[in-house]
Amino acid sequence: MKPIYVPKGKAKEYGDYALNIYTGCPHRCFYCFAPNVLRREKEQFHAVVKPRENIVEETRKQIEKEGITGKLIHLCFTCDPYPLGHDTTVTREIISLLKSTGNNVQILTKGNGRRDFDLLGPEDWYGITLDGGLTFKHEVASFPVTRAETLREAHARGIKTWVSFEPVLNAETVLKNIKYVAEFVDKVKIGKLNYHPSDIDWAEFGRKAESLCQKLGLDYYIKESLRAEMEAAK
């Protein structure tokens, strides 16, 4: 097993290297692509959430064998590094290992990574997903406003911060959220909902989102599928 890998396809737009820590995710977002990618039954994927077998040791072996250092490694694509309701000690161990070997991390979560902020520095990225809707049922930590306040804390600590506005479920809510996080976020990435029906005018939304980011002076990235909708409507 090689835990650290080079993402392909749409995932490549998020990072050059990635690592998936857990076997599943309890958040049950209806648009989750991971069960299909992993060829797992959805219920099993959402119900069985545990660290991948020997994930820390296998990561250590790969780093030593391949001399992996100086990389920005995304956590995670097929799971959440902070699955709500589960022990995330292994996430801390992975971050510690990556940092001790000269690497940096790019975290993306719908959970709460506050406990590990002491491990992160100015070259690490802490990010949250804000899709404009509540897509799973959990307690307070899962709510968008709580996620955003955790992001604010990371920013105050000097950690680079980012928001993934993908997939967009509610256009107007996302535009409001962009305004809300602007003062404590270093970058935003914006993408459309794919493979599911939506009544959003993607070209119009894309133009509004881009114009807003420019007005706010935000560093932003429009994902390719949304950019294609914007270009097609010209």
Give the model confidence (pLDDT) of 205-224 as tens digits.
Answer: 999 999 999 999 999 999 99
Please work out, in degrees rounded to the nearest 5, the angle formed at the alpha carbon of residue 47 by the alpha carbons of 143 and 144: 10
Give the model confidence (pLDDT) of 66-84 as tens digits.
Answer: 999 999 999 999 999 999 9
Q: Which two three-digit tokens encode residue 20?
A: 């998936």
pLDDT score, position 146: 82
Q: Which two three-digit tokens encode residue 63?
A: 């780093």
CB 130 within 8 A of CB 165: yes
Domain at 121, CATH number: 3.20.20.70
- Say how far apart CA 76 and CA 32 lie, in whole Å: 13
CB 80 within 8 A of CB 19: no
Rounding to the nearest 10 degrees, give the CA dihedral for residues 49, 38, 174, 12.
Answer: 120
Go through 108-143 and write b for each residue having 16 or more CB atoms within 10 A of its CB, e for each that does not.
Answer: bbbbbbeebbebbeeebbbbbbbbbeebbeeeeebe
Compute the average pLDDT of residues 87-105. 98
Q: Domain total for the chain?
A: 1
Q: Which two three-digit tokens encode residue 40?
A: 């797992």
Question: Residue 230 CA to chain centroid, in angstroms?
Answer: 24
What band does 230 get if pLDDT is binned at 50, 70 and 90?
Answer: very high
Give the model confidence (pLDDT) of 140-193 as tens digits.
Answer: 334 566 888 999 999 999 999 999 999 999 999 999 999 999 999 999 999 999
Residue 115's domain comprises: 4-232
The H or E element spanning position 220 is: strand 220-222
Residue 81: how many CB atoms within 10 A of its CB? 25
- Say how far apart CA 147 and CA 112 lie, in whole Å: 7
CB 77 within 8 A of CB 4: no
**pTM, two decimal places:** 0.92
Give the model confidence (pLDDT) of 106-151 as tens digits.
Answer: 999 999 999 999 999 999 999 999 998 754 344 333 456 688 899 9
